[in-house]
Amino acid sequence: MTDPVLALPVLALTDARLTLAGNAGPVEILKGISLDIAKGETVGLIGPSGSGKSSLLMLMGGLERATGGKVLALGQDLTAMDEDALARFRRGNMGVVFQSFHLIPTMTALENVALPMELSGTPDAFPRAEAELASVGLGHRIGHYPAQLSGGEQQRVALARAAAPRPAILLADEPTGNLDGVNGQAIMDMLFGLRDRHGATLVLVTHSPELATRCDRVIRLADGLLAPEALAKAAE
């Protein structure tokens, strides 16, 4: 990689910290995370429950604001942006998929997928949304509301919604956690397929070691810190 711009990491965290106010005083959730993720890289985020995987993903997506350190995405400092600037930045640059699909219940599958593109003012939001739904095998379901879709179908809609704006960064938090093996496998195949087709950078939180092995790199979190082997790997 000779191009200095391409060589820039897509995500760069420097001593990123997150402290949230809990019931019994402040809780230190992330205790100083330093990490670079290169363009096109697929990173698996693993670790025990409560270790801070989701929180770290939120920080990368600007959905949670770091209380210390720096978080750079595509060269922009997320810690310096206000809520609205973050929202604008997420449009088009970030696609997020959650374990529980977070579709908007009052909108059809098509409207859900078109929504982020509508928000960023894309003129052909609806045709693109339709094509994207077809690509996840839901071309015949576009007029259905989330409640009329199975869990696997809902997650496919969520996937289409995340991918349709062609974001540079795809963040997925246990996207198969609520699905059975077959459906989970299908979602994973689609997710990796999207990454392959569009060259997005993918950060994937997972509990499945098998899935982790499909990633270019695996980062292990423990108690709000990067586990030593991850540090060792990062130092290589």
Q: How far is CA 201 from CA 15, 63, 88, in A?
A: 21, 18, 19
With CB under 5 to 8 Å by kind, the binding choice for 81 among Mg ion, another protein, ligand ATP, none is: none
The answer to the question of residue 29 lying near ligand ATP (CB under 6 A) is yes
Query: Closer to ligand ATP at the Cβ: 76 or 208?
Result: 208
Query: Closer to ligand ATP at the Cβ: 50 or 143?
Result: 50
Q: Tell me the window of 34-42, 53-61, 75-83, 106-114 that interacts with ligand ATP (CB under 6 A).
A: 53-61
Q: Tell me the window of 45-53, 71-79, 153-161, 162-170 that interacts with ligand ATP (CB under 6 A).
A: 45-53
> Which residues on neighbouring strands pair with residue 172, listed in sequence order?
97, 204
- Helix, strand, coil tally for the chain in percent (to 5): 40, 25, 35
The answer to the question of residue 209 lying near ligand ATP (CB under 6 A) is no
Q: Tell me the window of 8-16, 67-75, 119-127, 181-189 that interacts with another protein (CB under 8 A).
A: 119-127
Q: How far is CA 2 from CA 5, 6, 7, 8, 194, in A?
A: 9, 8, 7, 11, 26
Residue whose token pair is 């997972």? 206
Which letter does DSSP use for residue 148 in this model? G
Contacts of another protein in 33-72 (CB under 8 A): 61, 63
Q: How far apart are CA 188 and CA 140, in angstroms?
A: 21
Query: Closer to ligand ATP at the Cβ: 48 or 127?
Result: 48
